[in-house]
Structure formats: C-alpha cells, structure tokens
Structure 1
Amino acid sequence: MDYPEGKLPPTYDVAENELPYQIRLALWQTAFGLQKVDGLSPSEYMVELAYENIEGKKGYDAIYREISDYHREAHVDANTVEADIVSLRIAELLAEDHFRLSPSTLLGIHRHLFTDVFPEEIPVGKFRTVNITKKEPVLDGDTAQYSSHFMIQDTLAYDFEKEQNFSYSGLTNEQKVLHAMAFLADIWQVHPFREGNTRTVAVFGIQYLRKLGFHIDNSLFSEHAAYFRNALVLYHYQGEKQNKRFLIHFFENLLLGKKHVLSDEEMHANE
C-alpha cells in the first residue's frame, strides 16, 4: 500500500484471531449456556448469526450491527436483548487470549458484557454501593450472604494478592483444581456487582483457568450453567444446607475429565 507523502504506515498490525470451527462452536455454546444462569434464552436470529461467525462468514462487529437492527425492528423484549448481546460479548471475550489477574479485569469484563444492556439504575463496570440479597430456591428461599458493599474493594484486594502470591508449583492436578476453584468461589461470594456477577466470574474464571494451563470442557458451562451457580450458593452458604461437594464435582468434571453426575434434583434435595 502506498501512503501519502509525510504519512508513515502503522507500526502495529491488527491482531487477527482465527480460531478453528470446533473452538468457535464451543465458545458460543458456553456463551448461550451461561444465559441460563438468569433464566434467559437467545433469539433464534442470534443463534443463526452465531453460526455464521462459527463458520467464519461474519465478524463480531457485523453481528452486533445486525442483531441490534433486528432488536429495533422486531421490538424484542429486554430479556431476549440481554441474552443476545451478552452472549455475543462473552463469545468475543473468550475468543481472546489476553488476561491479567487483577480486580480491574473483573471490572473490565463486567463493563464489556453489560454496557447498554442493564437499565440506567444498575451500574456497569463499577462495584455495587448497596447491600444485596436474593431468595435462592436451592436454599428453600433463604439468601446467600454476600460481602458488605463497604468491604468489596478490600476483600477483593486481599483475595487477589493472596492468589498472586500463591505458587501452583509442585501441586498435583487435583490440588491445583481445588485451589483455583476456592479462589473463584471466593470472588463470586463477594458479589461485587449489582447484577451479572455469575456470568462475569464465569468468563473471568475460564480465562484464568486457561492461563493456568488447564484444558476446559466448555460443555459444562453450556449444559450445566444453572447447576454451576447453585453449587456456588451451596459452597458458601452459612447453614445446614452448606455443601461443597457439588462445586467440587463440577470443577473435577470441568478440568480433570471426571464424570460425576451433575444432578439438579440431588442438589435441590440436599440436606
């Protein structure tokens, strides 16, 4: 390419991220599956566009423009809009290989996933400034205890510093899995955001586990996203229904190739 006089060519090339078909498929399945955490489902048109991306026919920007036009023209409800846009953004983030172990990464993921998705009264890319509760069916209507909003930054700073100083060297794969699981469960328990915590932590967790060198069975998030969230609830619950076994089984299947039966019925019958 010829450049006008006095104009220099760019010194950096645009990074092209060409992933194989099966990896793109797995990432989109994970993105769609994670919407089930909040009982959301993508539109049929979003699924069609996803396959065009999987087949290498369309990039994320083109899909975003097309799905946004579809939402306006078809007057799609807010839940479907959220499922479509957040799925697209999860697939986009998981296609990248950039990760930094820092609370700012959590903030950046949340901002990317939910900008212009949540209503104005829900902060995006910012830690919550109110305390929150949520009635959990898996706890028979009781709520998990999340961090006080006053303690979010200090708690995350402590958890991240401890993880940054931790050495996985010399550990067995089973020990590595249990430690990484506990770290991610602790981050989730803080619930730093007003909404969108589980999807944000899931994306963060997938990126971190890949950085640690784990091979991830993405089908676990696509097929058992609701189980994953309920297992986190039971892991940190301060009461008789506390049970760490369900989350351990999920992570052993996710990272170690084990075949535990992940039963929602068993989880809800947990004593």
Structure 2
Amino acid sequence: MADTIYCYPGTDVLVNKLDIHDADLLQNAERDLTARRLIQLQDHLIQGRFDYQHLKKIHAYIFQDIYDWAGKERTVDIAKSNVFCNVMFLPEQAKEIFAELRKENYLKDLTRESFIDRLVYFFGEVNALHPFREGNGRTQREFFRELALSAGYKIDYSMISQDEMIQASIDSFVRDYTKLKALMNKAVS
C-alpha cells in the first residue's frame, strides 16, 4: 500500500523538490545531494544541545535540497524489518531518550569502553524512534558523530559496511547490541 501523504499518488516514490517520479532516479539524486551535505558537515557541525531539536536540525540540513519535510517529524507509521515507534508516541519517546542522554552528560568523561557501551544503547534507541519519513540512518550517524566529537572521540563510519550497519541496527531494535558494539569498536577512536 502506497503512502498517500508522502508519496506521489499510486507510487512508493516520495514527493520531492526535484519532482522526480522514478524511485531509482530519486535514490541516486538523494544519495548525491545528501553526500554533499554530509561532506560539508565534516567542517561545519550543526550547533545544538544534542536533543531532539538538534537531531531535527541535522536532518533538515542533510535533506534540505530534496524534501519539504526535511527536519520535521513524520506523521505516518513506518516499518522496515521492524515497526518503528508509533507516530503518536514520537514526542514522548524522544523526550525520554534525550533526557536520559542529557542525564548521562552526553557521554562525556567516559572511558572508550564505557563510551561505546552507552553509544550503542542510544544509537539503538534513536534507531527504534525513527522520527523521520526517510533519512533516519544518515541523520543518526551524523548526530552520533557530532556527539562523539563533543565527548572527545571520533567515529569513522568508513570502517563499517552498509550491510553490517543495517544488520546491527536490526539487532539493536530488540536490544541486542553485540554486532553494533563490535562495529563501534572498529570505528571509534
């Protein structure tokens, strides 16, 4: 069943600023445009307090060239291999997750091992939240890259394949962080 709110009628293609109606062409354009924005973020971090608004600002920046709803919370329920947070509970769940992150001082002053332990927990929680209609993975990776920098660490995602990240994210949905922790052990310095 097609998403009648975010997609062109009768399709699964997201309505976009480029007016592309072909899924493959949109995927290619999205990949290219977001890659440019992510490169820009290497030198110009999005300023924020590592809260829900900060996550939204990062999404808005990355997807500003493609979607009018960039940076806005989704209004429909979505699923991939798992059903993500029900849209009704997004604000409440986000508030809890980011309050917990704040309570843990944004993972600052932790040993590398402790940092990775807490990082994978929060990574899994934000992944289960999946607050945007599209672009959650790229947004959360950038959010946690910036969080790591503020805590004195670096995450090098080039050390992780897309397939590895997808499988680790699926597992983290049921709070099995084994694969995600192994990946972050490779990527965090």
TM-score bracket for this pair, using the shorter chain length:
0.7 to 0.9
- Unaligned regions of 5+ residues in structure 2, if any? 1-17, 19-23
- 1:163 aligned to which of 87, 96, 101: 101
Q: Does the 8 A contact of 1:216 with 1:255 survive in 2?
A: yes
Structure 2: distance between partners of 1:200 and 1:98: 11
The aligned residue for residue 215 of structure 1 is: 154
SS at match of 1:83: helix
- Quick one: structure 1 residues 173 and 218, their matched pair in 2 at CA, closer, same or farther if it must change by over 3 Å? same
- Quick one: structure 1 residues 85 and 248, their matched pair in 2 at CA, closer, same or farther if it must change by over 3 Å? same
Q: Count residues with an aligned counterpart.
A: 165
- Quick one: structure 1 residues 218 and 232, their matched pair in 2 at CA, closer, same or farther if it must change by over 3 Å? closer
Deviates more, 1:96-105 or 1:204-213: 96-105
- 1:84 aligned to which of 32, 37, 41: 32
User: What is the TM-score with the length of structure 2 in the denominator?
Assistant: 0.78
The aligned residue for residue 185 of structure 2 is: 252
Identity %: 22
Q: Which of 1 and 2 has greater Rg?
A: 1
Amino acid at match of 1:112: Y
The aligned residue for residue 184 of structure 1 is: 123
CA offset digits 1:141-188 (Å, max 9, x no partner)? xx3131110111111111111111114577432012111221122111
CA offset digits 1:53-72 (Å, max 9, x no partner)? xxxxxxxxxxxxxxx9xxxx
- Give the number of the structure with larger relative contact order, counting CA–CA contacts within 8 Å between residues 6 or more apart: 1
RMSD, aligned α-carbons? 2.3
Q: Does the 8 A contact of 1:128 with 1:193 survive in 2?
A: yes
The aligned residue for residue 152 of structure 1 is: 90
CA offset digits 1:122-145 (Å, max 9, x no partner)? x321111111112xxxxxxxx313
User: 1:225 Cα deviation (Å)?
Assistant: 2.6
User: 1:255 Cα deviation (Å)?
Assistant: 1.2
Equivalent residues in 2 for 1:124-143, closer than 5 Å:
124-134=70-80, 143=81
The aligned residue for residue 206 of structure 1 is: 145
CA offset digits 1:73-120 (Å, max 9, x no partner)? xxx9322211111100011122224442111111111111112414x6
SS at match of 1:77: helix
The aligned residue for residue 112 of structure 1 is: 61
- Unaligned regions of 5+ residues in structure 1, if any? 1-67, 69-75, 135-142, 257-271
- Quick one: structure 1 residues 218 and 234, their matched pair in 2 at CA, closer, same or farther if it must change by over 3 Å? closer
